[in-house]
Structure 1
Amino acid sequence: MCLVVCPTGIDIREGANPWCIACGKCSDACTKQMDKENKKTLIGYWSENQISQKGSPIRWIRPRTVIYALFLTLTISAIGILLSSRVPLYLSVLPDRNIQPMLIQEGIVRNFYEVQMQNLTPKDRTLKFEIETSDLQGERKILVGGTEEATVQLKGNSEERYRLFIELKIAEQDSKKRSHDIKLKVIDIQDSEYSKSETVPFLLPVSISGWKIQNDERIVHGR
């Protein structure tokens, strides 16, 4: 039957043939004919390795299988560790480019920020803002929406946006550098592990003499 259906007229029973176009008609015909006799097909697609090992028991545990299983276990473990240590809070802090830094009073500078937070848990949170900085050690104040209140209420599975005013007292030695990095932290009052932080620039206005002198010197030298 396999010889009859072959479009190239070869006898596949004699073995692999370079004229075979791998159409599979011989295999289908043989399978149907052998099924009528309740026997296995004589023609199929097998690799040389499968043919040479025909009749041998299948080796389920091989070096490659062990390596794949180990790699999969490590990958799943790493993903589990990352998910378990992930704080379910989204935080984005961007300087407000529409309002320039301003000098409120002697030595006190105010910067404006747009804060976006998303609570990824169903629990309501009471969050407070804190500032960390390595070079600015003067007095600091955080105002949310212009009020002297550094805490906000964030409902479960909700997203809120806030306008933040940050005021820092600038010492004379710090006024020579216009940009300072500060770390804004958001901490849950009842659960300190529920916290997130982001580093943002704190800029000094040109009206501060220390930076203005340096800026003027650059202009003079540039000419």
Structure 2
Amino acid sequence: MSWLGGPLVAFDLETTGTDVESDRIVTAAVVRLDPDGSVAGERTWLLDPGVAIPEQASAIHGISTEHARAHGAPAASAVEEIARAVAEALRLGTPLVVMNARYDLSLLDRECRRHGVASISERLGGVPSPVIDPLVIDKHVDKYRKGKRALHALCEHYGVPLDDAHDARADALAAARVVRRLGERHRPVGLMPLPDLHELQVRAAAEQSVSLQAYLRRTADPAAVVEPAWPLIPRGR
């Protein structure tokens, strides 16, 4: 049976910024989808990240520093719960859908280190797998399509509703539904065994990074560096 005929678990974060080494989690969601696309279970978190949330980040996800401090859970306990929930899904072999996994999984890894809790890799004994990243796969199967590849653009392209963009639950759910549509439209991907699909994305993400880095060095910054590792940036990079 193809992975398209099984359950998916989707994971998403909203954060204080875009630097995996220094930014913090503000909200998180882990959502389980049954094969028919219905939501079978979900968990969401609002954290007090322990730092001020920049105005530009608040403008995106709608969470202010004051709201997070008043209503958010302590970061350390919430990060432990998030890491446990993600690891449990992967331990069961359920594919984990993460839009731009390189960012979300790496930031969660750094938060685990910051708060002294076991990371997903430590819980599993290796790099998180199997992961399905709609951003990486879409770029691989439709390399020359013009336009943006952000989640809202992928939702529009694959005909998936996105009713509350930058809400962690809504984004996780939309990413999982995009992945199903993508696999149905591009059957070689949809029929691929999960270990092979994961390894395909490792290679594809590295190739995409090399291509983007070359483009940036030609057009913007001769010293530009684009991280090739996927789905997790090793610590110390």
| TM-score category of the 2 structures, normalised to the smaller one | under 0.3
Q: What is the TM-score when the length of structure 2 is the normalising length? A: 0.19
User: Which structure's residues are more often helix, by fraction?
Assistant: 2
TM-score, normalised via structure 1 length: 0.20
Higher relative contact order (CA 8 A, sep 6+): 2
Which structure carries more strand by proportion?
A: 1
Larger Rg: 1
